[in-house]
């Protein structure tokens, strides 16, 4: 059975949930939007920080935290963004770090988005 995680994040009009839990695993994808659903201004640094804060909030709503994260898939629209993402990522995660992959892609769902994270974490069902 899949459980939906209720968050205070912007209620998207798209057919999605910000996070679900199944078999003790939290599944979530986080983007750099504010509480009004707008992509934050300020470039890759501001967008990465907003995405990480949205992730932290989602984990807390699932009674989990960053130490429960097992894997992160990072999507960026330009390879030059990776050093900034890495710097901010290291401010949130501590050793031992989650397993991780970083992908440079042509674009994300919203043209102004520069980063998106897909995250898996262990949680209590």
User: Quick count: other Cβ atoms within 10 Å of Cβ 38?
Assistant: 12
Residue 103 φ/ψ, nearest 5 degrees = -125, 135
- What was the pLDDT predicted at 1? 87
- What was the pLDDT predicted at 125? 67
Handedness of CA 40, 42, 43, 49 (dihedral sign): negative
* Chain centroid, CA 71 distance in Å: 11
Dihedral angle at the C-alpha atoms of 66, 125, 103, 33, nearest 10 degrees? -70
Handedness of CA 62, 118, 50, 37 (dihedral sign): negative
For 47-73, what is each residue's pLDDT tens digit?
999 999 999 999 999 999 999 999 999
pTM: 0.97
The ranges of the chain with pLDDT < 50 are none
Q: What angle do CA 125, 88, 8 make, to 5 degrees?
A: 40
Domains, the chain, ordered by start: 17-122 (3.30.1330.40)
- What was the pLDDT predicted at 28? 98
Rounded to an integer, what distance in angstroms lies between the CA atom of residue 121 and that of residue 96? 14
């Amino acid at each position: 059975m899949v459980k939906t995680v209720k968050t205070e994040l912007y209620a998207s009009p798209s057919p999605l949930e910000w996070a679900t839990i199944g078999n003790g695993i939290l599944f979530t994808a986080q983007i750099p939007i504010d509480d009004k659903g707008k992509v934050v201004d300020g470039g890759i640094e501001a967008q990465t920080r907003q995405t990480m804060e949205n992730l932290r909030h989602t984990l807390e709503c699932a009674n989990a935290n960053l130490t429960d994260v097992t894997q992160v898939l990072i999507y960026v629209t330009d390879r030059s963004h990776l050093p900034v993402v890495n710097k901010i990522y290291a401010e949130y995660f501590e050793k031992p770090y989650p397993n991780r992959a970083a992908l440079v892609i042509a674009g994300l769902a919203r043209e102004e988005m520069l980063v998106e994270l897909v995250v898996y974490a262990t949680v209590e069902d």
